[in-house]
């Protein structure tokens, strides 16, 4: 190889790496014909209700979470805001960069990996084994693995045992407003950062990054008029947005190429992020070292060297 012309060597290496990159990205982040990332649907969508197979109960259900995952982080924030830490315990998992799946820190029900538990809950299961998971210890199965639905469940089903039962993150009077914000935030921001980071064409990236910052600009303007997106009280919309904003300057700005502007540089989004971070119990759900480890250390196609950056300094989150 040393005797090859530099141009030929570079072109050959680039062609080989591009082919490998596209193969790995296709497995990690499926895309459409235009190179746009398409997130698969969650498979388990049961509710917890008095008249269902899964009735509300203290200490019956557990949350399986990865601390670096923003979707799992949502459930931890909702659990903290309601004061359900004593009612619903957690089971931690960590991502394996070599196996491409979540691993239990301590084997659970004889399972070393999360895919094994999914197959235990549903024999023959071939879908994605994602977090969060709301697990029922009584029937030994998965109740729900869709974070947007789990946080609704946590808000409504366990108030009898919550230390802050008066907290209502999805009040009836605000549901229409909450749902409208949720739709826009999911597409443009929550999933939008992934559409930027996992885009496989320039056009797909350009679409995603434009929609992302148009949404962030609109949110910033809305927050000029009120402390939270739907008014004077925190709602599920804020919970869903918070876990993306918390990771933005640390991961998405650089690794996912969302680098037009940092969240802390916005006039209203920056203080809003601090306001949410300082709500009772929220800071305890935030593990920035796990976030950096899971993204920079495990997303090989985006960071082949696996080098984890030392910064940034997050002391600004504790400022007034």
pLDDT in tens, 109-127: 999 999 999 999 999 999 9
**Token duo for residue 207:** 């679409």
pLDDT in tens, 56-83: 999 999 999 999 999 999 999 999 999 9
Backbone angles phi, psi at 21, to 5 degrees: -60, -45
Query: Which one, of 220, 269, 268, lies nearest residue 248 by Cα?
Result: 269
**DSSP state at residue 172:** G
Which H or E element spans position 108?
Answer: strand 101-108
Which H or E element spans position 105?
Answer: strand 101-108
User: Is there a binding annotation on residue 129?
Assistant: yes
d(CA 266, CA 271): 8
Query: Which one, of 297, 306, 314, lies nearest residue 68 by Cα?
Result: 297
Most confident among 100-104, 274-278, 305-309 (mean pLDDT): 274-278
Write down the pLDDT at residue 98. 85
User: Is there a binding annotation on residue 128?
Assistant: yes
Share of the chain above pLDDT 70, in %: 88
| Three-state secondary structure call for residue 1 | coil
Write down the pLDDT at residue 10. 60
> Which residues are 104's β-sheet partners?
93
Above 70 in pLDDT, residue 264?
yes
pTM above 0.75, yes or no: yes
Please say if 54 is a catalytic residue. Answer: no
Whether the CB-CB separation of 91 and 135 falls below 8 Å is answered with: yes
d(CA 20, CA 6): 21
Q: Single out the catalytic residue among 125, 170, 186, 194.
A: 194
Instruction: Quote the Cα angle for 297-300-301, to 5°.
Output: 145
Q: What value does the mean pLDDT take over residues 127-138?
A: 96
Residue 194 neighbours by CB under 8 Å, 6+ apart:
29, 37, 39, 256
Write down the pLDDT at residue 21. 52
Query: Which one, of 282, 278, 260, lies nearest residue 315 by Cα?
Result: 278
Please say if 69 is a catalytic residue. Answer: yes
- Say which residue, 254 or 15, is predicted with more confidence: 254
What is the residue extent of each domain of the chain? 61-161, 172-318
Q: Which CATH architecture has domain 172-318?
A: Up-down Bundle (1.20)
Q: Single out the catalytic residue among 69, 196, 258, 286.
A: 69
Query: Alpha carbon 33 to chain centroid distance?
Result: 25
The verdict on domain 61-161 having CATH code 3.40.30.10 is yes
User: Is there a binding annotation on residue 71?
Assistant: no
User: Is there a binding annotation on residue 207?
Assistant: no
pLDDT in tens, 281-292: 999 999 999 999
Q: What length is written for the chain?
A: 320
């Amino acid at each position: 190889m040393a005797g090859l012309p530099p141009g030929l060597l570079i072109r050959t290496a680039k062609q080989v790496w591009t082919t490998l990159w596209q193969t790995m990205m296709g497995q990690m982040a499926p895309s459409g014909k235009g190179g746009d990332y398409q997130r698969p649907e969650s498979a388990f969508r049961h509710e917890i209700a008095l008249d269902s197979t899964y009735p509300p109960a203290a200490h019956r259900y557990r949350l399986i979470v990865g601390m670096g995952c923003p979707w799992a982080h949502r459930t931890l924030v909702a659990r903290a805001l309601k004061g359900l830490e004593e009612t619903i315990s957690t089971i931690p998992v960590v991502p394996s960069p070599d196996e491409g799946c979540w691993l239990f820190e301590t084997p659970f029900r004889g399972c070393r990996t999360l895919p094994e538990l999914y197959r235990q809950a549903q024999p023959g299961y071939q879908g994605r084994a994602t977090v969060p998971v709301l697990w029922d210890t009584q029937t030994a199965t998965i109740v729900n693995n869709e974070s947007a639905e789990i946080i609704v469940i946590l808000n409504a089903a366990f108030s009898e045992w919550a230390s802050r039962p008066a907290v209502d993150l999805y009040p009836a009077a605000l549901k229409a407003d909450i749902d409208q914000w949720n739709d826009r935030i999911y597409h443009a921001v929550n999933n939008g950062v992934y559409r930027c980071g996992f885009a496989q064409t320039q056009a797909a990236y350009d679409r995603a990054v434009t929609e992302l910052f148009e949404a962030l600009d609109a949110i910033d303007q809305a927050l000029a008029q009120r402390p939270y997106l739907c008014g004077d009280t925190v709602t599920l919309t804020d919970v869903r947005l918070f876990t993306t904003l918390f990771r933005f300057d640390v991961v998405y700005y650089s690794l996912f190429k969302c680098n037009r502007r940092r969240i802390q540089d916005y006039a209203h989004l920056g203080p809003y992020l601090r306001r949410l971070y300082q709500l009772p119990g929220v800071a305890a759900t935030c593990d920035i070292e796990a976030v950096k480890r899971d993204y920079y250390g495990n997303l090989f196609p985006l960071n082949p060297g696996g080098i984890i950056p030392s910064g940034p300094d997050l002391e600004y989150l504790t400022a007034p």
